[in-house]
């Protein structure tokens, strides 16, 4: 049972934000684990760390062939019966391509630096993602996951920052489906309370020695944007919108939903840390695995997220095996994902509930939990709420 959001958190003797419901739990997810990250690493078979560039390239070839086939079929059929199916399928494939580019950024694609960067630029630029700009900010996220002050991705807002936002910003951030299209805005402006752009080499996001790489990625992104504009001039805006534009929006929705649900929406409230209470291991253990049904294979098992967060250099095709091997070490700190049907419709309940409840954290305390603003409009159905509570 999640701690009631209507209650103001009290503090235990260790300075940990608590409340009445939290004290009744027989397992405290915010407690320091009785194992070290070396214990998890030791439980994982050695071959899970091996990167095979040919295998990685085979996934790229598979995804690109599927994308090309979908686009050719859509152009030839040009039927409003087929277009909606195409948009969902192609947008999902764009998301799969993003995951492969994400692997390039971590070096889990291969041990070859040049191959990783070339493929990363090709894959990410094709879906309007600035490869190095995003790679660096996402590296910051992995190095600080679960840290209220330093995390980068879907980081909770301190109460003071939250209350400084205007009503329209709160509405855009927490009202379904608007947050599911936040990624392009985040690339340009980052999250509330943070400054910088993923496209600007002189942004606060980047160190001086990273500026040249960021500039290259921005130029690649610009080249792709110009190619789309040129295609619109040659073939017309509507065909480009149908072939590329709408799938791009579906891809953005996938990206925002998946990344959000890896850190939010679990049945039990999970902690966020500050100061000395935070550690790389404790932060990583607050991430959540998700089951996406048939999409697991399509998007390269990115839902197997706990081990990925702890060991981002591990190839995606070993994550499932590594997770199974590490479970006996993780114990209750690993939260078994609810099994999905063929398609992960069950996750919408978690998403809706979390966006309706998880708004800000206290300005004080080194271990904090999300609290709710009762004035935020909620997009909620009884069926979605029931599914979330019964999961």
Of 122, 103, 92, the C-alpha closest to 343 is: 92
**Tell me: the pLDDT tens digits for 307-354?**
999 999 999 999 999 999 999 999 999 999 999 999 999 999 999 999
Q: How confident is the model at residue 388, as a pLDDT? A: 42
pLDDT at 17 over 50: no
If pLDDT is split at 50, 70 and 90, which confidence band does 378 have?
A: low
Q: How far apart are CA 142 and CA 217, in angstroms?
A: 21
Judge residue 382's burial from the number of C-beta atoms within 10 Å of its C-beta, 0-12 exposed, 13-18 middle, 19 or more buried.
Answer: exposed
pLDDT at 387 over 70: no
pLDDT at 3 over 60: no
Q: How confident is the model at residue 173, as a pLDDT? A: 86
User: Which residues lie below 8 Å from residue 172, measured CB to CB, with a gap of 6+?
Assistant: 178, 179, 182
Left, alpha or beta for 159 (phi > 0: left; psi -120 to 50: alpha)? alpha
Q: What is the mean pLDDT of the chain?
A: 89
Least confident span in 5-9, 87-91, 300-304: 5-9
* Cα-based torsion angle of the residue sequence 253, 255, 258, 264 in order, rounded to the nearest 10 degrees: -90
pLDDT at 372 over 50: yes
**Tell me: the pLDDT tens digits for 133-174?**
999 999 999 999 999 999 998 999 999 999 998 888 888 888
pLDDT at 79 over 70: yes
Judge residue 269's burial from the number of C-beta atoms within 10 Å of its C-beta, 0-12 exposed, 13-18 middle, 19 or more buried.
Answer: buried
**Helix or strand holding residue 368 (H, E):** strand 367-368
- Give the mean model confidence (pLDDT) for residues 73-84: 95
Q: How far apart are CA 28 and CA 269, in angstroms?
A: 10
Q: How confident is the model at residue 13, as a pLDDT? A: 38
Q: State percent of the chain over pLDDT 70.
A: 90
If pLDDT is split at 50, 70 and 90, which confidence band does 281 have?
A: very high
């Amino acid at each position: 049972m999640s701690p009631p959001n209507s209650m103001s958190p009290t503090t235990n003797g260790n300075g940990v934000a608590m409340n009445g419901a939290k004290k009744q739990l027989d397992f405290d997810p915010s407690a320091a684990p009785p194992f070290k990250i070396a214990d998890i690493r030791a439980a994982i078979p050695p071959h899970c760390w091996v990167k095979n560039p040919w295998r990685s390239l085979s996934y790229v070839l598979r995804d690109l062939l599927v994308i090309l086939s979908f686009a050719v079929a859509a152009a030839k059929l040009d039927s409003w019966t087929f277009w909606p199916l195409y948009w969902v399928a192609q947008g999902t494939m764009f998301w799969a391509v993003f995951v492969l580019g994400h692997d390039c950024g971590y070096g889990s694609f291969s041990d070859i630096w040049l191959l990783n960067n070339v493929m990363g630029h090709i894959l990410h630029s094709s879906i309007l993602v600035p490869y190095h700009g995003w790679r660096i900010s996402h590296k910051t996220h992995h190095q600080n996951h679960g840290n209220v002050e330093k995390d980068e991705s879907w980081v909770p807002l301190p109460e003071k920052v939250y209350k400084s936002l205007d009503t329209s910003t709160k509405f855009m951030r927490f009202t379904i489906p608007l947050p599911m299209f936040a990624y392009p805005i985040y690339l340009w402006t980052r999250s509330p309370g943070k400054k910088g752009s993923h496209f600007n080499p002189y942004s606060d996001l980047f160190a001086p020695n990273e500026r040249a790489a960021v500039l290259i990625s921005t130029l690649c992104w610009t080249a792709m944007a110009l190619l789309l504009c040129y295609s619109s001039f040659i073939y017309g805006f509507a065909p480009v919108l149908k072939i590329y534009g709408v799938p791009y929006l579906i891809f953005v929705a996938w990206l925002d939903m998946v990344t959000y649900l890896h850190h939010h929406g679990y049945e039990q409230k999970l902690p966020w840390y500050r100061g000395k209470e935070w550690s790389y291991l404790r932060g990583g253990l607050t991430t959540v695995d998700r089951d996406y049904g048939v999409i697991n294979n399509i998007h390269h098992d990115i839902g197997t997220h706990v081990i990925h967060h702890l060991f981002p250099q591990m190839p995606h095709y070993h994550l499932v095996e590594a997770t199974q091997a590490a479970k006996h070490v993780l114990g209750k700190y690993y939260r078994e994902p609810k099994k999905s049907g063929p398609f992960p419709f069950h996750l919408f309940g978690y998403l809706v509930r979390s966006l309706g409840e998880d708004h800000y954290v206290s300005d004080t305390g080194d271990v904090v939990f999300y609290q709710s603003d009762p004035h935020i409009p909620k997009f909620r159905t009884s069926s979605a709420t029931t599914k979330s509570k019964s999961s």
